[in-house]
Amino acid sequence: MKDMIKKVKSYYEYHGLWKTLKAIFRKIFHIKSMSLTNKMKNFDLNIEENDDNVILKNNKNIFIFATVPYFDVGGGQRSAQLAKIYNKMGYNIFYIYAFECSEENVPFISIPVSYHKYIENVSYEEIDMYAKENDIFLFEAPTKAFNKFLALAKLKKCKIIYENIDNWETSLGSMLFDRETLKNMIREADMIVATAQKLVEQTQNYVKSYSDIKKDVYYLPNAVDDELFDPRKNYEKPDDLILDKKNILYYGSLWGEWFDWEIIKSLAKDKNTSITLIGDYSGIKNIVEEMPENVHFLGVKKQTDLPSYLSYIDFAILPFKPGAISDYVSPLKIFEYISMGKIVLTTELPDIQKYPNVYASNDIKDWNKIINNKNEIGEWDSFVSKNNWYARCTEILDLLFPENSKKTNEKIYNNLSIIVLNYNNKQVITRCIDTLLMYNKRYKYEIIIVDNQSSDGSYELLEKKYENKIKLVRNKKNGCSSGRNLGVENSTKEYVMFLDSDQWILNKYWLDNYINMILNNKNIGAIAWNAGWFNNEGRAYKVVDGFDFRYMDPNILARKDIGYLATCGFIMEKHLFEKIKGFDINYDPTCYEDTDLSLKIRNSGKEIYYSTYLGVGHLPHQTTKSGTAEHTKLINEKADYFYTKWSKENKKLLENYIK
């Protein structure tokens, strides 16, 4: 097969047609891979139309008109990040792109959107069928291909955003920049965004020239997915990462005229340094061949793989030549570098010089001084919390729909108690409580922390740090069931929610989807953020984490075809909790108590639903000794008790949800 490909390549290169043939193959591969992705989602997740097991997303659509596909540069560009986060916030995402991916060896990436198509395969009538008033249309480039959809958005009274993400008046815009389209977008936009300070100035000049109406230009630079780029997690060292005494990393585009290869050559003179470059290098083979041996080209990687590489290196770099392209950019990767607690070396780009742990200079001697010195890393968490993608997405929503940001008078708003257990979780629980307090203006919930006889000083810390901001209760023993029951006893609201101490809140709208589902579906007894099934022996078996999209198709909001719910983000009525007599304390200290509660809810005639659309992050395995012999023994004991109990109570609740 390889010999045949070589012969074909040789023939087409001779006739000057090899690039054309490669483009055809790439397009065929792309269409096939997208088809396989869709089939995989439907098959694995077992979604069918009119399935009464699910609650569909049906009221919130965002149409993103991007320059490139979601999977371009490993799924790391701005349009992909906005799509990913808005999907997590419960929106239907329609992702339409103007240009096919030109990269080679593109990794297979699952795409968390309802609709993903190349613009030439999208009809006006198709989008017209889905779009409705107050949906969001976001355009990230002034290309002619988007014009008819801009007109459609205006006709349907949708909210229109124009984002100026690059200096299109340079070579970057040679294939897409259309001034008449830019004029139309500026005139029709409900919101105008620029991602870099110089782009703000440029865009303000556009507004003055093209619009009779005074419009603001909002500075919204790029950001980080800090759930993904989290230095608190443990990462395995990638097999292809070559390390030395000093280790430097860059990922992103390698082919641009703005990339300064002289910096790479200069850094590589130190033979104790390993330089890793991640990105498509198929178009720069001549540069690759002349690079020293300690410069390693690894090709394109999924964005989800990048934290593993960052975790093991010493310095992250941005070797961009200052100029008409680089000066107008908000480098997305720099936020990811910072979020992973890395020292960043960069040229003097306007937007980033005051970012934490960033050293900016155009002189390579300054770079070498930093590399060869011991450097203290300053605090960066507060910067990251203000510059994550949830912050960007909520700011857009607040500016487009200011009336929604003040919504506090619904049935469950102001009527919720949040209960968190603490057992020697001093290292993680403060992030949980801090973010609960940070995002409580909208909901006004009460926070109840139940301490299960901690011995690490965490009870004293919580008592001193939070005082009257939380209700701190001490359990007489260490028990998940007894502790949560105690939390409910001390609650004063009509609804209760259980969170784990190793979770944290991600955005100001974090509870909206759960509240709206409860208000609109009378049969819901509980909704939770995690779930699983049973095996033939009636034991808790597979969990949603083992499936693509955590077993949540991008088209649906919640599903009930699961066996049980976990209590990490679990909401229900206090009246129902008391009616079914809460958690069974026979499961203390832990294991199967949430599984048991789920079946008690179903046995009472109510239904349980699983939904990922709760705005929480999770740092797993911080609250248990998972994997130890002691924990395995405990699981088996509680599993036996659970199976014996429910074999007598209602065995069908086990048999109907086998995976």
Label each residue of 232-292 as H, E or C: CCCCCCCCCCCCCCEEEEEECCCCCCCECHHHHHHHCCCCCEEEEEECCCHHHHHHHHHCC
**Cα distances (angstroms) measured from residue 286 to each of 267, 283, 450:** 19, 8, 63
Does the pLDDT value for residue 87 go beyond 80? yes
Does the pLDDT value for residue 578 go beyond 50? yes
Mean pLDDT of the chain: 90
Q: CA–CA separation, 185 vs 191, rounded Å?
A: 10
Q: At what angle do helices 389-400 and 78-88 cross, to 10 degrees?
A: 80
Q: What pLDDT, in 10s, does the model give residues 461-474?
A: 999 999 999 999 99
* Confidence at residue 413, expressed as pLDDT on a 0 to 100 scale: 81
Does residue 14 or residue 281 have the better pLDDT?
281
C-alpha closest to that of 94 among 72, 66, 73: 66
Does the pLDDT value for residue 364 go beyond 70? yes
* Average confidence (pLDDT) over 112-138: 96
Q: What pLDDT, in 10s, does the model give residues 40-49?
A: 233 334 455 5
**Cα distances (angstroms) measured from residue 451 to each of 433, 583, 634:** 13, 17, 21
359, 373 Cβ separation under 8 angstroms: no
* Confidence at residue 211, expressed as pLDDT on a 0 to 100 scale: 87
Does the pLDDT value for residue 427 go beyond 90? no
The structural domains of the chain, with segments of one domain joined by +, span 46-219, 246-385, 407-655
Of the pLDDT bands very low, low, confident and very high (cuts 50, 70, 90), residue 614 is very high
C-alpha closest to that of 162 among 212, 129, 210: 210
DSSP 461-491: HHHHHHGGGSEEEE-SS--HHHHHHHHHHT-
* Average confidence (pLDDT) over 174-186: 95
Q: At the topology level of CATH, where does 407-655 sit?
A: Spore Coat Polysaccharide Biosynthesis Protein SpsA; Chain A (3.90.550)
Does residue 452 or residue 49 have the better pLDDT?
452
Task: Quickly count: other Cβ atoms within 10 Å of residue 358's Cβ.
Answer: 20
Q: At the topology level of CATH, where does 246-385 sit?
A: Rossmann fold (3.40.50)
* Average confidence (pLDDT) over 307-330: 96
Of the pLDDT bands very low, low, confident and very high (cuts 50, 70, 90), residue 3 is very low
Q: 46-219 is classed in which CATH architecture?
A: 3-Layer(aba) Sandwich (3.40)
Q: CA–CA separation, 341 vs 421, rounded Å?
A: 29
Q: What pLDDT, in 10s, does the model give residues 625-641?
A: 566 788 889 999 999 99
Beta bridge partners of 559: 54, 610
Task: Name the residue with tokens 């591969």.
Answer: 29
Lowest mean pLDDT segment, chosen from 21-30, 32-41, 190-199, 402-411: 32-41
Lowest mean pLDDT segment, chosen from 4-13, 140-149, 343-352, 544-553: 4-13
Helix (H) or strand (E) run with residue 516 in it:
helix 512-520
Q: CA–CA separation, 556 vs 522, rounded Å?
A: 18
**Shared fold status for 46-219 and 407-655:** no
Q: What pLDDT, in 10s, does the model give residues 247-266?
A: 999 999 998 889 999 999 99
Q: CA–CA separation, 272 vs 452, rounded Å?
A: 50
* pTM given for the model: 0.89
* Confidence at residue 50, expressed as pLDDT on a 0 to 100 scale: 61
**HSE (CB half, 13 Å, CA atoms) of 241?**
23
Does the pLDDT value for residue 613 go beyond 90? yes
Q: CA–CA separation, 570 vs 525, rounded Å?
A: 10
* Confidence at residue 58, expressed as pLDDT on a 0 to 100 scale: 78
Cα 337 to the center of its chain, rounded Å: 16
Token readout for 389 is 């993608």
* Confidence at residue 49, expressed as pLDDT on a 0 to 100 scale: 54
Q: What pLDDT, in 10s, does the model give residues 498-555?
A: 999 999 999 999 999 999 999 999 999 999 999 999 999 999 989 999 888 899 989 9
Q: CA–CA separation, 205 vs 304, rounded Å?
A: 38
